[in-house]
Structure 1
């Protein structure tokens, strides 16, 4: 059976799924990005960039493109898109799968404090937190912008300085995956005393946590937001099998 697969992307797992599906005949694959990264890594095949205009806009797009199945492979913290996709697919009776990389779990050497918001993370910063590696998204800096006594290390894919931004910071333009040796050297070079990050999961950004544990650094980690109930897998290969099974069943 021919049909269209919409992959809501933005993660390494989403790109991997798009590459797998692009090599298979009989299906059209559309890879969708929010458009926040200026120079995103794109898989082969058809891509689209930008929002849909909420649930109604997404429903209209799914109908116009005659989409058969949807895979929500957005970042674990891109929760709004996930809820919109779930509502749109429920309204149209379309199957939807969540491709969600496993969360990170603390080990014996980790000094993690889990928080539910960045405002809570700010409260947990101690007087000893003077040089903080702020490994968060570009749109998540506002709660830290008013902290005058802390210097922050920021790292984004693009070199453009974000707004709002902390009073004292250094910005590094780089993108993962990052090596343990590189992360260890980064923390030492900048004399980092605290790491602040999201529980993004996966392997591309895990090295900074290992390096922090080796150096005995405290970590303030944001919990993942809730997602809609429904089928979920943890790898691109599992997602590809799910997509195939739905086309086989439909046939």
Structure 2
């Protein structure tokens, strides 16, 4: 049974209510002439070609396009989970291409959170243990108190000891949101966060995602087929056959983490 108390509708904040971007800080993310090719028995396959854009701090960005247009590949490259064939990604002023895998993992641990379509919870860990895990991996001294606090915030304060199999899909995605935000990331990547949920549950997760994001001032980048979710974002990027065909800014952007 889902708890809806934590999912009150969120106002994405009008331009008048939001502070102006701080030009003294670098953008959250810069993508320059990004390309990705893979080798297949039939020959090379181009997944992305010549993709470039800038994401401001505090931005909410939707990456949209048909299946197979390269959205998830782009997300993996931006997060440093994969290496581009051409071009580069600069995350908070740090070029990921200059780092080895350990360096990219360090950047992800310090600055990046993830939410996936299929939740990616560890089945052998309770909800509390799943949320504590990234703090433990980062070496934080205190892990249980912040994990309990964020699980309470997403409406699962009474489900701390439950395993993923004992939770509904919506509850599992709430755990995943708690796990993503508990490290206080400056950037959050979400890949089809409502893709495995019914429309009612998906709407509740959208509201919760934007509420947590507004409170934390995180830069949010998400891949989605959900037009309603894309419309909630201030910045839309559209891919078609591996190329960026639209870069639309829908609302002014606040620098939510200018002091970070």
State the TM-score, normalized to the length of structure 2: 0.24
Q: Quick check: which has more Rg, 1 or 2?
A: 1
Higher RCO structure, 1 or 2 (CA under 8 Å, sep 6+)? 2
Q: TM-score, normalised by structure 1?
A: 0.24
